């Protein structure tokens, strides 16, 4: 038999067959590498279907014409029947429509409904406008997403749009005020003449929507969509050089599903406001004029619209509420980059604290500049919809009513001014730019007043003088910190291009203690290092389009280093200055003024500009010193992230050397990206494929090797190194016995995954569970007690499954069950007890009482759990609420996180209902004891980072609506399907539990309980697509993961 030819080099995604296996073997014999991988369970159906479809199509092509139907029917007969009669009739012939009596046959688009096509307005293509008109004629619903809509486009499509409206076809339009290109007349026509729903994104600054797309929904299942470059204008629809792709639900179901889910998410996004010509026309005209440059923007106010928080701002508000309600903390600090809406969060927080419009708590808002106070007062007025709210106390203006005061720190410091107020006069005090708080003027205000709530706002909690304001004023706790990724995804900051560049300097032999290098040694290596300086200049020329026009900040290791770099730049023809803490105020202000005016292109400093600097035009940041601190790294990066005219991107050049073995790159890159430990390593290796729009992170080859090697080491720290780390960070005044898990994690900047991630650990031929007690025993062997029994060590290995516990009631219940002297009668029916026991014995190997007795008999296990519970109690920001309806007696709480075993036990499995939670593997479970359907959703079904075929089945439409796909066997007519639809009338509940992925940094990921949900509507059958309305809005953090729009 003739040997198979060798395969051509390149990328493949071929299912291994017998023939292909022979080809692979032949190719390997020629010296080529041919790696293979298992098909992910979530993708098996799609991969097999593709393979079968290609094979069948090829067989039918080669079969004689008269035998093709018979061949197709033989193939179909081999399959389990999914239709009443799948056999193909002679012909073959197609059913083309179903039309009501005495109704003309519907016109058809030129492109078959089951095909895809690319339209380029060429002579051979149907005209796009013509195709759209034909699509409208048979559509049951029409959705349009378009950056701008013009009257000239309406004219092209007017007759078809009018006929669709006359047939009662719902029409929805999403558009923007971007560049002022939309015609209000076109939107008015949609609303008034076509009875369409129109929603407009008025924020052209932070939302640059460029998409142009149509979807034509058909109840027959033959939905089609168009995505491309054509806006709704005559030129784009008729004769422009435009490219548009036509999609078909039959040919490209995943793409059409993604279109639909993304459109629904936009539609329910608060950023898109309903447009009513009667009330919104004047405001729309003003914004269009402003964004087109036809009118001045000086006095345009957005107070016409309700101020609604972005999801990340909602998360910050929820964090604040948790600090107050759960932890009873009323001095709180918010940290967020400049320009991301800290004042909006403060104003919305004030609105939440009001119990009614009549109840307006007194407030003092403190800042150091008049402009900040005026802008902040306007923000509060917009949020509260009250143009008379608040008074200024600045530049000689004094408040009269004295209830809601926006004051400069200078005005409050005037002689005798503070004493004119009672110490408890203000219910709420907000201090902007709280990093100034250590100054005597701010300290005096803080010491004088005794507000019910103190809120500090800052972008830079760690100051140049080393003071950490969180540590100094808030017991080391930040109430909420905006993740940079969320701000970038919301388009609140300018995107950045980060380049990690190897500088050739070896720092591995330098002294490195408590997260920092010895400054003198660094200074000796960097100052006067002309080779490194030359690499900096070369990187500028490579990465910055015109260095002579940049506005750069350089962060140096010392004053001497800063002056050296400024001199290097001046010698290279790039005017620059060096400033330090010793520079006078006038000198610093003049240096900044020169940078603004373009008289210099660079400023070099040590820590001077880590905080307090606001120069939006900074477009280049040079990181010329190794920085392990995530806080300082983000503060330095944040100096350049403010938006400014003619600033499209921030360029960041970070110069990377070979580091000391204790240096940690993972801290700053996890803070930068928000990625989990495992995803960070993979992203560095693959070049960060999933970033916010416009943002790039690029390493040169050497820098990537340095960083990746370091991150791998830190994220998979050896047991020996971790034991040494535990020993090093023990407080001097603590004994090993009272050395707390939380104390170590905070001091060492480590996470629970470092402790519990591996499952087991080995040291000097000893093997034990991965636990805090193991590390402490090995770090302090002299303090070790009785040898650990095998049964206790086996239980310690299960403690890692409880690291997610986050609601106070469960923490207290578990603590009580572990420590109460005597277990009460009837403990077998205690659902908290069941949840704890099934966490250790998922398959029910122990009864509730025997399991608790065994846990309580092992002091090391109890101690480990108490350490973990204490840490989770201190760090949790969950605000749990009891579930309503038939599950009101369950201990489960909305927004808390649970393992599969916990949540099923909490709903009565193993107590009220027979069975054990560990035996359930499906994503749905009917529990008759509480008459509840538990729906368990994993958003990321495939282990691949991106799997289009599985991504758009389960997703959040908004924070209250969730799209869910049932099991493939569930039909509308089935008992289960009918129970889903009619659960309210039947008296049963539906409880929804969602997690991001199957596994995380510590094994199996827990589910977040979204609580009970109400049936809204359903489409399809086997499977059903159901939209549920949650009784409680989902947490903002999870919503940002679960929504179809990233």
The sheet carrying 363-367 orders its strands as: 391-393, 404-408, 363-367, 428-431, 453-458, 331-335, 480-481
Q: What percent of the chain has pLDDT over 70?
A: 94
Whether 340 maps to a domain, the answer reads yes
Q: What percent of the chain has pLDDT over 90?
A: 51
- Burial code (b: 16+ CB inside 10 Å, e: under 16) for 228-257 equals bebbbbbbbbbeeebebbbbbbbbbebbbb
Please report which confidence band the pLDDT of residue 390 belongs to, taking 50, 70 and 90 as the band edges: very high
Show the domain range for 783. 719-875
CATH number at residue 970: 2.30.280
Span 1028-1041, mean pLDDT? 93
**Of the residues 440, 455, 482, the one at which a domain ends:** 482
Q: Give the Cα separation of 864 and 800 in Å (integer).
A: 10
537 and 597 in a single domain? The answer is yes
Please report which confidence band the pLDDT of residue 855 belongs to, taking 50, 70 and 90 as the band edges: very high
Q: How many CA atoms lie within 13 A of 624 on its CB side?
A: 36
CATH number at residue 339: 3.40.50.300
260 and 377 in a single domain? The answer is no
Measured CA distances, 715 to 666, 677, 679 (Å): 8, 7, 11
Chain segment 749-802, per-residue pLDDT in tens: 889 999 998 778 888 888 999 999 999 999 998 777 678 899 999 999 999 999
Whether 101 maps to a domain, the answer reads no
Span 626-642, mean pLDDT? 86
571 and 698 in a single domain? The answer is yes
Q: Is residue 1045's pLDDT more than 80?
A: no
Q: Give the Cα separation of 905 and 842 in Å (integer).
A: 10
Whether 124 maps to a domain, the answer reads yes
Phi, psi of 482 (to 5 degrees): -70, 125
Chain segment 978-1004, per-residue pLDDT in tens: 999 999 999 999 999 999 989 888 889
Q: Is residue 298's pLDDT more than 50?
A: no
**Of the residues 292, 319, 352, the one at which a domain ends:** 292
In this structure, of 38-47, 559-568, 683-692, the range with the lowest mean pLDDT score is 38-47
What is the pLDDT of the chain when averaged over all its residues? 88
State the distance between the two ends of the chain, measured CA to CA, in whole angstroms.
Answer: 53
Give the pLDDT of residue 302: 47
Whether 615 maps to a domain, the answer reads yes
Span 538-565, mean pLDDT? 95
**Of the residues 715, 743, 764, the one at which a domain ends:** 715
Q: Is residue 568's pLDDT more than 90?
A: yes
CATH number at residue 132: 3.30.870.10
Who wins on pLDDT, 440 or 743?
743
Q: Is residue 488's pLDDT more than 60?
A: yes
Burial label, 397 (beta-carbon count in 10 A; 0-12, 13-18, 19+)? middle
Span 512-541, mean pLDDT? 93
Whether 437 maps to a domain, the answer reads yes
Q: How many whole angstroms from its chain centre is CA 916?
A: 34
Q: Give the Cα separation of 556 and 623 in Å (integer).
A: 7
561 and 706 in a single domain? The answer is yes
Q: Give the Cα separation of 739 and 732 in Å (integer).
A: 10
Residue 555, classed as helix, strand or coil, is: strand
611 and 759 in a single domain? The answer is no
Whether 48 maps to a domain, the answer reads no
Cβ contacts of 166-169, under 8 Å, gap ≥ 24 = 169/136, 169/139, 169/140, 169/141, 169/142
Span 644-662, mean pLDDT? 91
Please report which confidence band the pLDDT of residue 178 belongs to, taking 50, 70 and 90 as the band edges: confident
697 and 726 in a single domain? The answer is no
495 and 477 in a single domain? The answer is no
Number of domains the chain contains: 5
Q: Give the Cα separation of 42 and 943 in Å (integer).
A: 8
Q: Is residue 204's pLDDT more than 90?
A: no
Give the pLDDT of residue 38: 85
Lookup: tokens for 197: 């729903």
Q: How many CA atoms lie within 13 A of 326 on its CB side?
A: 24
DSSP tag of 451: -
The runs of H, that is alpha helices, within 784-844 are 790-796, 808-819, 831-840
Q: Is residue 49's pLDDT more than 80?
A: yes
Burial label, 187 (beta-carbon count in 10 A; 0-12, 13-18, 19+)? buried
279 and 326 in a single domain? The answer is no
402 and 456 in a single domain? The answer is yes
Span 684-689, mean pLDDT? 88
Predicted TM-score (pTM) of this structure: 0.82
In this structure, of 22-36, 228-242, 360-374, 905-919, the range with the lowest mean pLDDT score is 228-242
Ranges assigned E (strand) in 69-177: 117-119, 141-146, 171-176
503 and 593 in a single domain? The answer is yes
Chain segment 924-957, per-residue pLDDT in tens: 999 999 999 999 999 988 665 555 555 558 999 9
The runs of H, that is alpha helices, within 268-395 are 277-292, 311-325, 342-353, 370-384
Whether 54 maps to a domain, the answer reads no
569 and 551 in a single domain? The answer is yes
898 and 924 in a single domain? The answer is yes
Whether 813 maps to a domain, the answer reads yes
User: Which residues 6+ apart lie within 8 Å of 457 measured at CB?
Assistant: 333, 334, 336, 342, 343, 346, 430, 431, 432, 433, 434
β-pair type (893-894, 881-882)? antiparallel
Give the pLDDT of residue 87: 80
Please report which confidence band the pLDDT of residue 464 belongs to, taking 50, 70 and 90 as the band edges: low
Q: Give the Cα separation of 649 and 1036 in Å (integer).
A: 28
């Amino acid at each position: 038999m003739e040997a198979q030819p060798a395969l051509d080099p390149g990328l493949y995604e071929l299912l291994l067959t017998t023939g292909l296996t022979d080809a692979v073997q032949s190719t390997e014999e020629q010296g080529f590498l041919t790696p293979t991988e298992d098909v992910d369970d979530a993708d098996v159906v799609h991969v097999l279907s593709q393979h079968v479809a290609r094979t069948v199509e090829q067989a039918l092509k080669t079969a004689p014409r008269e035998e093709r139907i018979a061949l197709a029917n033989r193939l179909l007969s081999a399959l389990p029947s999914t239709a009443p009669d799948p056999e193909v009739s002679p012909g073959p012939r197609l059913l083309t429509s179903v039309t009501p009596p005495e109704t003309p046959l519907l016109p058809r688009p030129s492109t078959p409904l089951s095909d895809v096509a690319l339209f380029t307005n060429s002579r051979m293509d149907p005209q796009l406008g013509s195709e759209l008109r034909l699509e409208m004629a048979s559509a049951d619903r029409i959705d349009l997403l378009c950056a701008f809509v013009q009257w000239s486009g309406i004219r092209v499509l007017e007759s078809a749009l009018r006929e669709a409206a006359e047939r009662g076809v719902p029409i929805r339009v999403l558009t923007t005020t971007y560049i002022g290109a939309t015609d209000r007349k076109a939107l008015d026509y949609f609303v008034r003449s076509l009875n369409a729903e129109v929603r407009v994104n008025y924020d052209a600054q932070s939302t640059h929507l460029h998409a142009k797309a149509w979807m034509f929904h058909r109840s027959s299942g033959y939905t089609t969509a168009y995505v491309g470059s054509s806006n709704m204008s005559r030129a784009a629809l008729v004769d422009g050089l435009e490219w548009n792709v036509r999609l078909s639900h039959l040919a490209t179901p995943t793409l059409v599903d993604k279109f639909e889910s993304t459109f629904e998410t936009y539609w329910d996004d608060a950023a898109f406001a309903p447009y009513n010509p009667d009330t919104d026309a004047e405001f729309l005209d003003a914004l269009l004029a402003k964004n087109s440059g036809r009118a001045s923007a000086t006095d345009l106010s957005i107070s016409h619209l309700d101020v609604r928080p972005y999801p990340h701002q909602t998360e910050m508000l929820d964090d604040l509420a948790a600090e107050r309600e759960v932890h009873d903390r009323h001095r709180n600090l918010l940290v967020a980059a400049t320009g991301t809406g800290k004042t909006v969060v403060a104003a919305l927080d004030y609105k939440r604290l009001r119990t009614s419009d009549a109840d307006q708590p007194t407030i003092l808002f403190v800042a150091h500049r008049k402009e900040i106070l005026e802008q902040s007062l306007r923000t509060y007025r917009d949020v509260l919809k009250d143009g008379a709210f608040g008074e200024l106390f600045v530049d000689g203006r004094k408040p009269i009513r004295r209830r809601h005061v926006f004051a400069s720190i200078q005005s409050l410091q005037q002689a005798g001014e503070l004493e004119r107020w009672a110490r408890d006069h203000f219910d709420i005090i907000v201090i902007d730019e709280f990093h100034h708080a250590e100054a005597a003027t701010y300290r005096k205000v803080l010491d004088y007043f005794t507000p019910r709530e103190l809120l500090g706002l800052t972008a830079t909690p760690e100051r140049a003088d080393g003071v950490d304001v969180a540590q100094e004023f808030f017991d080391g706790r930040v109430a909420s910190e905006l993740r940079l990724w969320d701000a970038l995804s919301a388009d609140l900051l300018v995107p950045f291009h980060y380049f990690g560049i190897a500088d050739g300097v070896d720092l591995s032999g330098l002294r490195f203690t408590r997260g920092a290098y010895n400054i003198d040694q660094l200074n000796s290596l960097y100052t006067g290092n002309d080779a490194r300086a030359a690499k900096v200049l070369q990187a500028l020329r490579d990465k910055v389009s015109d260095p002579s026009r940049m506005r750069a900040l350089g962060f140096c290791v010392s004053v001497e280093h800063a002056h050296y770099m400024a001199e290097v730049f001046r010698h290279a023809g790039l005017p620059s200055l060096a400033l330090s803490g010793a520079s006078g105020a006038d000198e610093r202000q003049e240096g900044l003024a020169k940078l603004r005016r373009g008289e210099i292109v660079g400023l070099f400093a040590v820590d001077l500009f880590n905080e307090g600097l606001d120069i939006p035009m900074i477009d280049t940041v040079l990181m010329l010193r190794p920085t392990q601190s995530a806080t300082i790294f983000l503060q330095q990066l944040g100096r350049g992230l403010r938006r400014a005219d003619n600033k499209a991107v921030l360029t960041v050049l970070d110069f990377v050397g070979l580091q000391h073995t204790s240096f940690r790159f993972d801290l700053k890159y996890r803070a930068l990206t928000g990625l989990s430990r495992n995803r960070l390593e993979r992203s560095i290796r693959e070049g960060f494929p999933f970033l916010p729009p416009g943002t790039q992170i690029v390493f040169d080859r050497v820098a990537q090797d340095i960083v990746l090697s370091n991150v791998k080491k830190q994220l998979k720290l050896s047991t020996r190194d971790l034991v040494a780390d535990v020993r090093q960070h023990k407080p001097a005044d603590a004994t090993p016995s009272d050395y707390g898990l939380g104390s170590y994690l905070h001091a060492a900047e480590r996470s629970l995954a470092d402790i519990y991630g591996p499952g087991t650990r080995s040291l000097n031929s000893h093997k034990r569970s991965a636990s805090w007690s193991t590390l402490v025993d090995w770090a302090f062997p002299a303090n070790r007690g009785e040898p650990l029994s095998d049964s206790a060590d086996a239980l310690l290995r299960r403690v890692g499954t409880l690291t997610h516990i986050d609601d106070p009631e469960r923490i207290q219940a578990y603590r009580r069950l572990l420590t109460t002297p005597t277990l009460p009668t009837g403990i077998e029916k205690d659902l908290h007890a069941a949840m704890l026991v099934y966490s250790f014995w998922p398959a029910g190997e122990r009864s509730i009482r025997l399991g608790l007795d065994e846990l309580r008999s092992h002091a090391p296990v109890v101690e480990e759990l108490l350490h973990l519970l204490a840490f989770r109690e201190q760090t949790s920001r969950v605000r749990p609420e009891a579930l309503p309806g038939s599950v009101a007696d369950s201990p489960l709480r909305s927004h808390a996180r649970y393992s599969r075993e916990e949540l099923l036990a909490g709903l009565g499995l193993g107590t009220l209902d027979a069975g054990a939670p560990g035996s359930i593997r499906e994503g749905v479970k009917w529990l008759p004891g509480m008459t509840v359907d538990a729906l368990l959703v994993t958003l990321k079904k495939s282990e691949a980072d991106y799997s289009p075929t599985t991504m758009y089945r389960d997703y959040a439409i908004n924070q209250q609506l969730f799209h869910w796909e049932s099991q493939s066997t569930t039909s509308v007519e089935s008992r289960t399907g009918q129970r889903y639809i009619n659960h309210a009338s039947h008296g049963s509940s539906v409880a929804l539990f969602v997690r991001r992925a199957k596994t995380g940094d510590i094994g199996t990921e827990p589910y977040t309980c979204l609580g009970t949900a109400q049936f809204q509507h359903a489409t399809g059958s086997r499977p059903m697509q159901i939209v549920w309305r949650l009784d409680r809005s989902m947490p903002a953090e999870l919503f940002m993961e679960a929504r179809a729009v990233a």
